[in-house]
Amino acid sequence: MNVSLKYIDEEDKSYGLVGTAVGMYVFECDDHLLGLSLDETEPERSVQLVAEHYFSGNPSMSAKIVWNNLLSQYRMMVAMTVSNYLCRVLVHRHDNSVDPFAKNMLRRVIIEEGHDTCQLDEDEIDRMFNQGYQHFQRIFAHSGVQNVIHTFASDLRRVRTMDHEEIERELMALRMI
């Protein structure tokens, strides 16, 4: 079976980036989001994050603080990844039945990152993944959220790049739901 998590086209990418922004908003870490760009060719550069996001600590910090920072960053990555994918599938493609192979691929990516970043056990990662997955399924099934996302994705395709303030203006509509 030929299953991919890659963007199909520019419209799919716009929904993925918007899904990422919504995921960060829901997890209250949208203050880490500096911008979105459709014009970046590398997917990881399409979402610009604050420099602190990439900083894991220094020798003067306790190991516990460093690990908690890594865990927090990992949780944010799970939210960003799951919301990116589910927004594309559930909102853009209107496909209520997520391909089980694609879901498992997504899970494997998240498990690998959890092992590499935080040395988490698979059951801990599965718990985080399943909670996030179910949470975002409910969010993206909401018709009001879908309307906001359609507008946001359309606006992103029109302007190509959005900074933090423009993203926050788009996300403000979610507060009304």
pLDDT of the chain, 177 residues: tens digit per residue: 455 789 999 999 999 999 999 999 998 988 999 999 999 988 789 999 987 766 666 677 788 888 888 898 999 999 999 999 999 999 999 888 788 999 999 999 999 999 998 899 999 999 999 999 999 999 999 999 999 999 999 999 999 999 999 999 999 999 988
CA angle, 35 then 75 then 176, to 5°: 60
Domain that holds residue 100: 10-176
The confidence score (pLDDT) of residue 139 equals 96
Answer whether residue 139 is part of any domain: yes
Confirm whether 40 is domain-assigned. yes
Q: Which long-range contacts (CB under 8 A, 24 or more apart) does 169-175 make?
A: 170/18, 170/21, 171/21, 171/22, 171/25, 171/30, 173/148, 174/22, 174/25, 174/145, 174/148
pTM of the model: 0.91
Q: What is the structure's pLDDT at 177?
A: 86
> What is the pLDDT at residue 155?
98
At which residue do the structure tokens 């192979």 appear?
Answer: 101
Is position 98 within any domain? yes
For residue 3, being part of any structural domain is answered with no
Burial of 97 from C-beta contacts in 10 A (0-12 / 13-18 / 19+): exposed
Residue 143: which CATH number? Answer: 1.20.58
∠ CA 160-24-138 to the nearest 5 degrees?
Answer: 105
Residue 2 within a domain: no
Q: Is residue 67 part of a domain?
A: yes
Rounded Cα distance between 99 and 75, Å, is 23
Looking at the structure of the chain, the number of domains it has is: 1
Q: Would you say residue 146 lies in a domain?
A: yes
Q: Is residue 91 part of a domain?
A: yes
